[in-house]
Amino acid sequence: MKKNILFVMPSLSAGGGEKSLVNLLSQIDYDSYNVDLFLFHKAGLFINSIPKEVNILELPANYRKFKQEVHESIRLFLKAGQFNLACFRLMFTLINRVIKNSTKAEQTAWKYVSPSFDNLEKEYDVAVGYLEKSSIYFVVDKVNSKKKIGWIHTNYSNSGMDYHYDNPFFKQLDYIVTVSEECANSLRETFMHLKDNVRVIYNIVSPRIIKSLSNIEINYDIINRKNHINIITIARLSHEKGIDIAIDACKLLIEKGHKVNWCVLGEGNEREQLEGLIERSGLTNNFKLLGTKENPYPYIRNADIYIQPSRYEGKSIAIDEAKILHMPIIVTNFKTAKDQINNGENGLIVDLNPQAIVAGVEKLSQDISFKEKIINNLSKEKLGTEEEINKLYEIL
C-alpha cells in the first residue's frame, strides 16, 4: 500500500530550498509513495523540473482572490460578501508595509492570510512543510496528517525568526529537519524542549546530473573574459548573501590593478540597491547581475573562482555544486562554512570583509600550486548525496 505524502512550499523560484526540493523529488521511489505538492504560487524557475509523478494541487478560490493586487482583492471579497477576508487582506498589506523585516512580517501576517486557505480534504500519512515559516504553519493549521515535518534551511539563530511565534507550531511537529549539523545545533539550543525531534538530512545533489548539465553551451564571453580573473557567485540578491560586500571587494581588486569579471546569478529584493552601488563604484563593466539561470552549471564550470560572500547560510547547495565541478572556492566565515569547506584543503574560508576576500582571490590567482592542490583535493572527494533520501524514508 503506497503512502501519501504532501510537500508544501511557497513557490519554485530560484533559491536553495526550492532547488533542494526539486532534487529530493527526483530521488523519491514513486512505486512506494504518492506525492502531492501544494504551492502558494504555482510558478518559479524550477516548476518545469518537477517529476511527472508529482501531483500539484490547485489553489483554493479564496486564496486566488487573496493573491490579487490589494484593491482588486478587497473588491472581490466585498462583492462576494466576505467582509472578514476583505479586512484580513487589508491587514496583510499593512503589516508587510509597516514591518520592514520581511521574516518577521511573514510570521506576523500568517494569521491574516491563513483564513483564505481551506483545510485540505485529503488525509496524508506524512505532510512536510519544506521551508521555514508559512509552509510549516500551513502544514500545522490546514493539513490532516498522521505525521508532520517542518524543514528548516537556514541557521535559526541568525535567521531573524521569532522563537515565540514559531514555538507553538514546532511543538505540533513530529520532526524538525534541517540541512547541517550546525543548523541542527542552533535548533536544539533554541528549542531545547524539542531537541529530540531534530534530524539532519543534507541537501541532495547529483554529481552525474550536474557534470552533464555543465557541458551545455552558453555564451562563454559573459563569464570567461580573456586576461581577467573570472569570478562566479550564485545567491539571492538579499542582505544575508553579502553581495554588497562582494561589490566592495571587486572595487578593491580593480584599484589594486587586477582585471576582474565578477558575475552573480540570482534575483532578489536588493537588485535596485545593488545596481546603484555597482554604478557608483564604477564597476558596470566588471560586476554583473545576470539574473537567475535554470542551468547555472556552465557558468560555474567556465569561471576561475567561486565566491560565497554570505553573512550567514544554512547549508549552501551552490557551494556543493561548485565543489562537484572542482571549482576553487572562497567562502566567508559564516557559522556553517566549516560544514562544507576545510580551510586550505578544498577551499578558502576568509573573514567577512572585502579586504579578506581580496586576499583570498589573490592567493588563488597567484599561487598556482595552491590552486592546483585545491582542485586535486576536490576531485578526490565523494560529493554526491543521493543516499540522503534514505534518511527521509526512515522518518516517513
Mind giving me the DSSP string for 242-295?
A: THHHHHHHHHHHHHTT--EEEEEEB--TTHHHHHHHHHHTT-TTTEEEEE--S-
Residue-level pLDDT at 137: 98
The one-letter amino acid at 378: L
Residue 325 is which amino acid? L
> How far is residue 338's CA from residue 332's CA, in Å, rounded to a whole number?
10
For residue 309, what pLDDT is reported?
97
pLDDT at residue 396 in the model? 85
Outline where DSSP puts E strands in the chain.
3-9, 33-39, 55-56, 123-129, 144-152, 175-178, 198-200, 229-234, 260-265, 287-291, 305-308, 329-332, 348-350
What local confidence, expressed as pLDDT, does residue 135 receive? 97
The reported pTM is 0.81
What's the CA dihedral at 52, 54, 58, 59 to 10 degrees?
Answer: -120
Q: Give 342's contacts (C-beta < 8 A, 6+ positions apart).
A: none
Where the chain has pLDDT below 50, the residues are none
The strand pairing partners of 34, in sequence order, are 4
pLDDT of residue 126: 97
Identify which of 27, 25, 23 has the alpha carbon closest to the alpha carbon of residue 7. 25
pLDDT at 100: 84
What pLDDT is stored for residue 313 in this prediction? 84
Per-residue pLDDT, 12 = 87
Write down the pLDDT at residue 176.
98
pLDDT of residue 385: 82
Please state, as a whole number, how many other Cβ atoms lie within 10 Å of the Cβ of residue 55.
12
- pLDDT for position 49: 83
**CA 156 to CA 306: how far, in whole Å?**
26
Angle at which helices 317-324 and 16-25 cross, to 10°: 60
Residue 44: its pLDDT value, please?
A: 76
CA 17 – CA 255 distance, rounded (Å): 37
Would you state the pLDDT for residue 353?
Answer: 97
